[in-house]
Chains A and B, each alone.
Chain A
C-alpha cells in the first residue's frame, strides 16, 4: 500500500445533510465536553457515506471547523486509515480480499476479472465511471473464500464465472444478490457435514 493520493478534482463545497447533521450531533454527544475532537473518525465516515464513498477536501475542512480542530489534524486521520477514500471510487466500490486463504482459493483470478472488465489498474474508475476495484487485506470471511466486498455487502464462495457476471451486472448499474454463491447460509458447512472425516484430503 502506498500513500493515498488526494483527488485532483474536488468539489467546492461540502455540508452534512440534515440527517447526517443529527447523527453527527449524536456522535459528538458521546464524548465529554471539550473532547469533541475524538469524533473525527465517525464524522469522516459519515461524510464518506454521504459523498459517494469518498471524502473530498471540502468535507475535511467542514469537519475540522465543526469540531474546532485544525485542518491538518483531520487530514492526518483521513490519510492514515485505509478505509477512507480520498478520491472518487464510483457508485460501486469493489474490494477483493487477497490475503492468504482467499489467495489460495483463487482471489487473483477475481483480480484478473476486474482488470479485464473494469480497469487495468487498482483504484481507477471504469469507463462509465460507475465502479472501481481495489485489493484489500483480510475481510474476515475466510470460511467462504474467495470473496469480495461491494459497498456494504459480501459476495462469497465466488468463482471466476460468477464474479464476471456480478461485475457485468454492476457495470450495467444493477445490484446483484449478495451472500454466498454456492447456496450456503452464513458460514454453515456444506451438505450438513458435521466433521471432515469422510472427506479425503480435507
Chain B
C-alpha cells in the first residue's frame, strides 16, 4: 500500500494504480475524455491534468502511476487554468453544433465545457472539416466533432477483437476511420457509440429520435441470448426508442451486443394486437370473448392425450410456470416441451445444464475447450470474456472443428466424437493439459448435445473431470452454452416432456390441439391439428396457427429469466402491450378460468410466490435415463446460427435485417484481397 495525499486528504492506495484512480478513491473527480477503465491508457486528451508537488508542470493523471508520498492537488488555480487551456484547444476545431447533435444532453464535452469552457473563442482561423465516414448500418458518423480520444480504436482492437478502426493522417489532418470505410465486422460494434465522449459516433437507427431527458428509463435485462445482459430500456410513450447497457461486472461488464441494442425496433413491427382466427386460409379479427369461446369448445372436444404445448425462446418464467400448471391441472396433458431440438439434458441436478464456471470465472481460466459451440454467435458477451481471458492469461483455446474467426486464436481439433473419446479415455494430449490446468473450462454447445453419443460425451466428460478433481466446491469446469433466454428457466421448472417424445409425436401428426406459447423457431408439416398461438409477433408460429391470442413482448411485462449461469434476474415492464394484447400469464390464467370456472392465480404475486416455492424444491427427474449412453463415431457439426434473425423480435427488426444483408453481401464478395 502506498501513502499519498490528495487535496490534503491522506489516503492509502494499492500499488500499480494511476493518479487518476487514486484521486477517484479520495473522492476528487477528474474530468477525462480518453481514459476509460476497461480500455488501455492512451493519455492523449490531456483533460485529466493535476498538480503534483515537486513536478514543474501539470501531469496527465490517467497515465501517471502513483508513487509513495505523492502530494496531488486537483483544485488549485494552476489545474483549473491548465484544464481550461486544454478545453480551449479541444473546442478550437469542434463545430459546437449541439442543437443538432444527437449526443446533446449526454455529452461529456458539453458537460465538461460547463466547468472548463470559455464563453468566447479566440480561434479566428477556419475550422477544420472532416468528411463523414461510413461505418456500417449502426454507426452514424460526424467526424468534424471528433476530438481524437481514440477510445473507439482501442475498443475495436482490444475488446471487440476486430482491429478495423484506426487513425489515419496526422496533426490537423488526423481522421478516425475504418479500413477503407467498410462496415465494422463485429457483433459488439455499436458499443463505440456509448464510448464516444462527443457526438462523432452516434446511433444511426436512433438518429434525431429523442432527447435523453424526454425518455423514461427502465433498468431491465435482455432476452436476445441466454447471457441475460443487463440493459436500460428508454421509452417515449409506448415506443421503445433505444436500449443501452447497464453495468454488471459479473455478466456483461458495460458492453452489449448489437442484437441486444438494435433489435428493439422489432417491437414496433409485425405486432399482434387483436385475436385472430383462421377461416378459409384468411385471418379474421375477432374479440377476446369469441376467441376464448372457440378455444373452450376445442379443449372440451379434445382428448387430453391429444393436446400438446410448446413453449418459446423468449417466454418468461411466470408464463412457463402458469403453463405448467395449466397443462397439469386443467388440460391433464403431459406433453409440454420447451426444447427446440431433442437435446440431451440431465435434470437431476442444476449443475448438469448450467454454465457452472460463471461468466466472470472465464477470466481466470487457463484452458478452454469448445465442443460443438460457436460462442461468438451463441453468446456474444461470453465470447468477449473468453477474449479478455485470452488477452490476460494467454489462455490456450481448443475447438472441435473450425469455427471461423472467433476474435481470438484457437487450435482446431478434429470435429469427431472420437476426439472426445480419446480425451475422456486419457489418450490425448488434451487430457494431460486438462489435468495440468488449474482452471480448465469445457464448454458444450447445444449442437453437440443433439448427437447420438451426446450422453456418452457429456457424462463421460463429467466422470473424467470428477476423477481429476476439476469439479469441486471451488471450481466446476463443466459448462453448457444455451442459446435462448428461456432455456435454463424452463429446465428449472422441468418443462420437458417426461417421455421425451413430444416433438417426435408432433412431427408424426399425433396431436389434435397444439399450443404454441411464444414458440416460433419451429416448423412441421401440418395436417389436421388445431394450433393456438400465444405470442407477440406475427411470425412463423402465428402463420401456421388457427387461433392467435396476442401476448406481450419482454419489455411489456414483468418477468423472471434465468441466464445460462443460473442467475435469476427480472425483466421489468418498460412499456405496455399494443392494442388488445395482454400479458402472457394473464392469457394462460384466462384459459384456465375458461375451462375450470376458477382462476389459477389470484394475482401476479401469488403466481410468483408459487413459482419460487416450486423452484426451491429439489426435484428428481429421470429424463436422462431415456437417452441411450452409447458411443457412435460421428461428426460434431456446430450448427450455424442466423445471428441477426435468431428470434421473432430480431426478425421483425429493420435494423437487424439491414445488418444481415450487409453481412451476407460481405460474405459473397469476399473481403480478402
Interfacial residues, chain A to chain B (CB-CB below 8 A): 1-4, 57-58, 61, 69-73, 75-76, 79-80
Contact = CB atoms under 8 A, between A and B. Distances in A.
A195 B523 CA distance: 98
B579 interface: no
**Size range of the chain B interface in the assembly:** 10 to 19
A73 B153 CA distance: 11
A75 B168 contact: yes
B673 interface: yes
Contacts of A57: 180, 673
A70 B178 CA distance: 11
Interface string B173-192: 10100111000000000000
- What 8 pairs between A and B have smallest CB-CB spacing? A72-B166, A70-B163, A79-B168, A3-B173, A3-B169, A61-B673, A72-B179, A76-B166
A71 B179 contact: yes
A73 B163 contact: yes
B178 A72 contact: yes
Contacts, number: 38
SS class, residues of chain B in contact with chain A: mixed
B176 to A, nearest CB: 10
B673 A3 contact: no
Given A72-B178, A73-B163, 18 more contacts: A1-B173, A2-B173, A3-B168, A3-B169, A3-B175, A69-B163, A70-B163, A70-B164, A71-B164, A72-B165, A72-B166, A75-B168, A75-B179, A75-B180, A76-B168, A79-B168, A79-B170, A80-B168
11 contacts: A3-B168, A57-B180, A57-B673, A61-B673, A70-B163, A70-B164, A73-B163, A75-B166, A76-B166, A76-B167, A80-B170
Interface string B443-464: 0000000000000000000000
A72 B164 contact: yes
Contacts of B179: 70-72, 75
Interface string B551-578: 0000000000000000000000000000
A71 B185 CA distance: 14
Nearest to B168: A79
Contacts of A76: 166-168
Interface string B330-368: 000000000000000000000000000000000000000
A57 B163 CA distance: 17
A75 B175 CA distance: 12
A47 B178 CA distance: 23
Nearest to A14: B673
A179 to B, nearest CB: 33
A75 B179 CA distance: 8
A73 B170 CA distance: 14
Nearest to B166: A72
A67 B173 CA distance: 27
Contact of A80 (B163, B165, B169, B178): B169
Contact of B169 (A4, A61, A73): A4
Contacts of A75: 166, 168, 179-180
Given A58-B673, A71-B179, A72-B178, A79 B169 contact: yes
Contacts of B180: 57, 75
Nearest to B178: A72
A2 B175 CA distance: 11
Nearest to B130: A3
Contacts of B673: 57-58, 61
